């Protein structure tokens, strides 16, 4: 095995994986490196289902080791919404500002103590001769009543971190990486990489 494909078009995500696989001499590819476009319809009802669906579908088509992720925001007062619909909460155009506006509107009148939420990320690893496995990470916080900060993307401006006393969008990329849901999932994947690459499966 000398290549792994990350099922994403996001260059930022690709860099995280490049750092992870570099010590093993493994080249990291993304969907942008492929000649043909692969579009997997996310029909799952959970982050796990969508991540596995993407990883297994692409791995089967390319006969390569593939890592896919699905992530989003869960707001307790909204029964876990937007959840798997986080990117398209306000419509299929996937507009961050529209998604934030909808979440804030639905939380109007909800007390601060009841605005608990978390970012969740699930990574799925699939490929020839590999038993599909998943690694998950989460980051707990509260939903603000208005935007704060200009860094990050998605719901970061309204996601408040009590221990940091700031929103996710007020952190530097490095600070965010240390506490983020994706960072936590990546750490778990990193622990299992030697086993995964050496035996073809994770115990």
Catalytic residue ranges: 70
Dihedral (Cα; 89, 95, 98, 100), 10-degree rounding: 70
The C-alpha atoms of residue 150 and residue 103 are separated, in whole angstroms, by 18
State the Cα–Cα distance between residues 193 and 146, nearest whole angstrom: 40
Residues annotated as binding site?
8-13, 41, 70-71, 153-156, 176, 181-182
Comparing C-alpha atoms, which of 185, 145, 153, 188 is closest to residue 171?
A: 153
Which pair of tokens denotes residue 94?
């996937």
Known binding-site residues for substrate equal 8-13, 71, 153-156, 176, 181-182
144 and 159 in contact (C-beta within 8 Å)? Answer: yes
Binding-site positions for Mg(2+) read 41, 70
Burial of residue 63 (CB within 10 Å: 0-12, 13-18, 19+) is: exposed
């Amino acid at each position: 095995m000398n290549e792994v494909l990350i099922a994403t078009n996001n260059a930022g995500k690709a860099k995280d994986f490049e750092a992870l696989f570099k010590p093993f001499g493994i080249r990291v590819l993304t969907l942008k490196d492929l000649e043909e476009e692969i579009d997997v319809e996310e029909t799952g009802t959970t982050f796990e289902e969508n991540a596995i669906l993407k990883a297994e579908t692409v791995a089967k088509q390319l006969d390569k080791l593939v890592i896919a992720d699905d992530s989003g925001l869960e707001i307790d007062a909204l029964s876990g919404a937007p959840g798997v619909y986080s990117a398209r909460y306000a419509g299929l155009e996937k507009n961050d500002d529209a998604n934030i506006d909808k979440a804030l509107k639905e939380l109007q009148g909800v007390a601060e103590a009841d605005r608990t939420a978390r970012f969740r990320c699930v990574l799925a690893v699939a490929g020839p001769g590999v038993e599909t496995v998943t690694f998950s990470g989460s980051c707990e916080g509260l939903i603000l009543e208005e935007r704060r900060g200009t860094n990050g993307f998605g719901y970061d401006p309204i996601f408040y971190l009590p221990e940091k006393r700031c929103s996710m969008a007020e952190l530097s990329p490095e600070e965010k990486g240390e506490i983020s849901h994706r960072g936590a999932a990546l750490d778990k994947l990193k622990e299992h990489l030697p086993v995964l690459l050496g035996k073809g499966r994770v115990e």
